[in-house]
Amino acid sequence: MARMHIMAGTGDKLDMPVIRQITIADLGDALRRGAADFWAKPSHYLLLAIIYPIVGIVLTVWMNGWHSWTLLYPLVGGFALVGPIAALPLYEISGRRERGENPTWRDAMSVLRSPSMGSILAVGAMLFVLFTLWMTSAQALYESLFGPAPPRTLAALAAQVANAPGGITLLAVGTGLGALFAMVVLCTTVIAFPLLLDRDAGAYVAVETSFRAVLYNRVPLFVWGVIVGASIFLASLPLFVGLAVVLPILGHATWHLYRKLVEPASHIRLP
């Protein structure tokens, strides 16, 4: 029964949320609201926000010591794959501010007591598997073009990509692979975690609702995916420090995007 609850939520029947159609202008509004949430009380988010650049710097140092610079680009892309679950406290803050509350850091961490935590962990496990497959695919692609010996410095990697015959292939195919994984994540989790925080719908309903949201709003959500990917890439350039602002804003904005895409809980359809 516990497994059924995690996958299908409470109740005897699946409650499938109703999807709205949105426009590009709604994306801008969601980002503005996300920025407003972040700047309203940034001190509450300081600890969470600092985690991202610290992890990025540590990974950079690790790669320098172990000569794993070939994984730098995939790791940057990986932030977009695992970011949705890391932003759970931000969704909680945005939801509470939406209800007129004055949330604190303790409120943000109340997500750990969410009745949907089992479903959230199930979807998070799926993201972890996708992240692992992405890293494995990126490494396999590099080794197929240049062999198992990685460059010892970042400058050596850049020279290899720029001058070696397989450099363009690595960039083109690697970017295509990354885009494929990002598209899978977008289609399956674009609003999955905000939905699970908002209602105990179950992992299956959360993933299916995300897929329908993308299906009914192909252009706006494709643009959203481009915005997220480009923002994370640009924020990663200065030693990942820009992620301390970009990722929280995107996290808050995702909550508001969810509100625009999904009808309130009273509007459901039964399969």
Distance set, CA 14 to CA 196, 208, 209 (Å): 14, 11, 11
Q: Is 6 a domain residue?
A: no
Q: Could you give the 3-state DSSP secondary structure of residue 11?
A: coil
The answer to the question of residue 67 being in a domain is yes
Distances (CA, A) of 54 to 40, 51, 256, 265: 23, 5, 27, 38
Please, are residues 60 and 239 in contact by the beta-carbon 8 Å criterion?
yes
Is residue 178 situated within a structural domain?
yes
Is residue 14 situated within a structural domain?
A: no
Q: How many domains does the chain have?
A: 1
Is the CB of residue 203 less than 8 Å from the CB of residue 123?
yes
Phi, psi (deg, nearest 5) at residue 199: -155, 150
**Residue 117: CB atoms within 10 Å:** 17
pLDDT of residue 252: 94
- Is the residue at 76 inside a domain? yes
Non-local (6+) Cβ contacts of 236 within 8 A are: 56, 76, 79, 242, 243
Residue 59 lies in a domain: yes
Q: What angle do CA 13, 15, 18 make, to 5 degrees?
A: 155
pLDDT at 148: 83
Domain that holds residue 169: 19-265
User: Where do we find the tokens 């396999």?
Assistant: 140
In a domain? residue 2: no
pLDDT tens-place values along the chain, 271 residues long: 444 445 555 555 567 899 999 999 999 999 999 999 998 877 656 656 666 666 666 666 665 665 577 777 777 767 677 778 778 888 999 999 999 998 887 888 888 888 888 899 999 899 889 888 888 898 899 889 988 887 877 788 888 888 888 888 988 998 899 889 989 999 999 999 999 999 888 899 999 999 999 999 999 999 999 999 899 888 877 667 787 888 889 999 999 999 999 998 764 444 4
In a domain, 4, yes or no: no
* DSSP H/E element including 164: none
The pLDDT value given to residue 178: 86
C-alpha to C-alpha distance for 82 and 242, rounded to whole angstroms: 17
DSSP 54: H
